[in-house]
Structure 1
């Protein structure tokens, strides 16, 4: 074990107790033990266990130092935080072990990541590097396998995602052209060590932001999906309102021509705090995605408590009617307890016995003939509430965290909306202290948001300005 990794483990030991006293620490979502967590990396299934690595600064709540931390699980629900596997201590990654992916080859788990290097003037160099393991827990670095970005691109060149198609390995890497526009490029390899540049992935998004981070290409039942996180997209009404976005296009990639014929770009998440998603294939053939429940360059309240950010829960991805749909993985049902069910016909504002809390799963169906708005006030108390509602006149789902407790990132607004035409609205809510994930109408849309209410704000109210049928199923977690 390297001295730098020993130092990181010592930091956990010295700060863990004080960090865990913070009420806003989560019950069932993944967080780093101390410091900052951001991008999920190397999401994989190897030797009967799920492995999820993550960008981690154990020493401070900023992006100055980047290790790869390591979570491990047998069921996607109960996770163990293992020792970190990569530390920024070699010439090719001394300023950060940046994001990447994992793949199994010849019985080994292989990590493919970006080594970040800066000189005394702040000039950047990036190297795409390998590390290998025979057990999924201890890794040997092999150094760079792609040493320079191709001609025509800046040194913002990172986040390799690797997959295998028949006998060929492919890697898509996020890039920035010399004209400061975002793109993604494709490489191929026969042995995962020697890589050939195939070209820039050709899309219809020629001037779509200034950098594409965390690209990911995969297929679901023969249909291609290209996920990426473009930086520098201007807001358009209800779309693209966060500092940076994450989304997808549907379309099949042809490695021979490096052409991607695709549909329109759609945001993966309509909420406030979602970035850098990564996917993997599990043992049952499901495509599973996790993401950073946060954003870069945004200040969050827990920084003063010695920890920052968390990850989303695992989501299964499906393509239904030409749209990427996200569902909570079935395994989440394992942690349900204290079931409560309600059916009612109501109008106005109403609460129900035992329907409250700060860590729970709730499925709420609302159907109205004459209402203009129906919805839920969550985490009610102390003049606080988080509003989740459906506006029948606008046909929009609305999440409002303007009164959710401590306000942050106000420059990006406190309301998020998306269009949805439906007579019945289903809110499938996962509340976890300072994080909410909402799956709308069986995952047709998803909202993720960090909120920081008072510990005593645990009430739940339902409201409608007309007669509305309501069905509630709730479990504590």
Structure 2
């Protein structure tokens, strides 16, 4: 596809500033106003600002021909206008600019990304180095041309990191044979300006999916956490219920030995719409932004008929406790709250209560069960509804969206032992919803597409009286885009 930077950025500016966007266009989630919004492919602090690179196909809602756009922010509330910085064109990336990373080297902002090429039915990926220069990523050249022997061309998503004074690249990979492939991570080491293949990262997972995507390693205190997204993991009753998964293993990674000693794989998010998150470390914090999408499920996203599709999660701060990653919304997001319209909740010995929410809401509920054995959180959209149910008897939380007329259907179930008090924090945008349970022990991201343009009504109920329901609901301002 032929990219025209000036024309596309002018259209972005016009449409992102619309005063009356469609009822499914989100208010406080970053997304492109037209085309295919892809996942974050670089996220870091550079100077005084956070730089967020994400994929974008401006020509259709198809997952192809993607370039990268850049948005900058100091506070996750006010953002720069999206700027087109990378697009396919040369032979090395003619079919799209794929997954990658961004980092600072010698005062310059560098990127590594997968250049997509297809020869007939065969994918021919290669890893490309670039430098942000004058508002555009200059393509400096191919640094890894082909996968090592024994691995398929599904090697992608380079992530650069430093350990023990040496520079390394992780690549998501797939071991042959192609008729019975196995997901893995490949490690390369920098040696005199060249990238040398070391080995496959040795883990205790064995066969765990057919391909691993977008590996990222972050250090939390004395441990490393390897984030990645495996495809082809067997579905279980209370885990791995999406088409593709995203999660992590925590332990010790020794890059020099290409080994990692770790605990079991855990999912980062239990919702329907979450994939290939990206993490960044700054100011002593680990912050993650996920992609609210599920590949190969285009029928779940009716916005495609309107010419736009997908969004990003709000930034989440991650902490590691006893080998488990907890997530909570970034502290800066509290500045979106409108205190004048705040609603406080406090009810005792009640079976049911309900309230109308806003066009965009944040809510926190603390529900003390008492004699109640279950609790239902029902988001009503006229005659449609989204239902969350927690049952104490089996310590299972279930999310069901079968009563929404449009978009994806089905349910998600996972175990969540909580004792006598249920904590839930939620963010309800026009179509994007994010939930955090038990102070971030679990999270769930999902999309809903109400037929009617109505404010949702939240109903909290139980089959028996709940001892106490306490909480607060805030109306949220939309994020802002600075025209300069």
| TM-score normalized by the length of structure 1 | 0.93
Provide the C-alpha distance between the structure 2 equivalents of 1:362 and 1:330, rounded to a whole number of angstroms.
15
Aligned mates of 1:216, 1:422 — CA distance in 2:
34
2:427 pairs with 1:426? no
For residues 475 and 35 of structure 1, the distance between their equivalents in structure 2, rounded to whole angstroms, comes to: 31
CA distance in structure 2 between the partners assigned to 1:111 and 1:42 by the alignment: 8
Aligned counterparts of 1:185 and 1:74: Cα–Cα separation in 2: 34
The equivalent residue for 1:473 is: 472
Residue in 2 aligned with 1:141? 139
Q: Who is 1:373 aligned against?
A: 374
Q: Is the 8 A contact 2:251 2:323 kept in 1?
A: no
1:115-148: per-residue Cα shift (whole Å, max 9, x none)?
Answer: 01112x132211111111256x332110111111
- Is the 8 Å Cα contact of residues 396 and 421 (structure 1) preserved in structure 2? no
Kept in 2: contact 1:27–1:359 (CA 8 A): yes
- How far is 1:67 from its partner? 0.3
In the other structure, the counterpart of 1:285 is 284
Deviation of 1:187 after TM superposition, in Å, equals 1.2
- Whole-Å Cα distance in 2 between the matches of residues 190 and 281 of structure 1? 26
Question: What are the equivalent positions in structure 2 for 1:329-348 lying under 5 Å apart?
Answer: 329-337=330-338, 338-348=341-351
User: For the residues of structure 2 that align with 1:64 and 1:470, how far apart are their CA atoms?
Assistant: 47
Counterpart for residue 404 of structure 1: 404
- TM norm structure 2: 0.92
1:16 CA displacement:
6.3
Q: Give the Cα separation in 1 of the matches to 2:53 and 2:40.
A: 6
Q: Tell me which residue corresponds to 1:162.
A: 160
Q: 1:96·1:115 contact (CA, 8 Å) conserved in 2?
A: yes
C-alpha displacement of 1:416: 3.5
2:219 aligned residue: 219
**Which range is displaced more, 451-460 or 18-27?**
18-27
* 1:23 Cα offset (Å): 0.7
Q: Give the distance between the partners of 2:352 and 2:469, measured in 1 at CA.
A: 12
Partner of 1:461 in structure 2?
Answer: 459
Distance 1:20 1:211 in 2: 42
1:199-237, Cα deviation, whole Å (9 max, x unpaired) = 100012221111101111111112111111000112111
How many residues align structurally? 466
How far did residue 113 of structure 1 move?
A: 0.4
Deviation at 1:190, TM superposition (A): 5.5
Farther off after superposition, 309-318 or 342-351: 342-351
1:388-430 alpha-carbon deviations (Å, 9 max, x no partner): 232111211222212234142x4xx234433333211111001
Equivalent of 1:440 in 437, 444, 463: 437
Partner of 1:105: 105
Structure 1 CA distance for aligned equivalents of residues 93 and 24 of structure 2: 33
Q: CA deviation at 1:13?
A: 6.9
Given that residues 218 and 224 in structure 1 are in contact (C-alpha distance below 8 angstroms), is that contact kept between their aligned partners in structure 2?
Answer: yes
**CA–CA separation in structure 1 for the residues paired with 2:473 and 2:14:** 38
Gaps of 5+ in 1: none
CA shift, 1:383, in A, is 1.4
CA RMSD of aligned residues (A): 2.0
Query: For 1:19 and 1:124, how far apart are their aligned partners in 2?
Result: 42
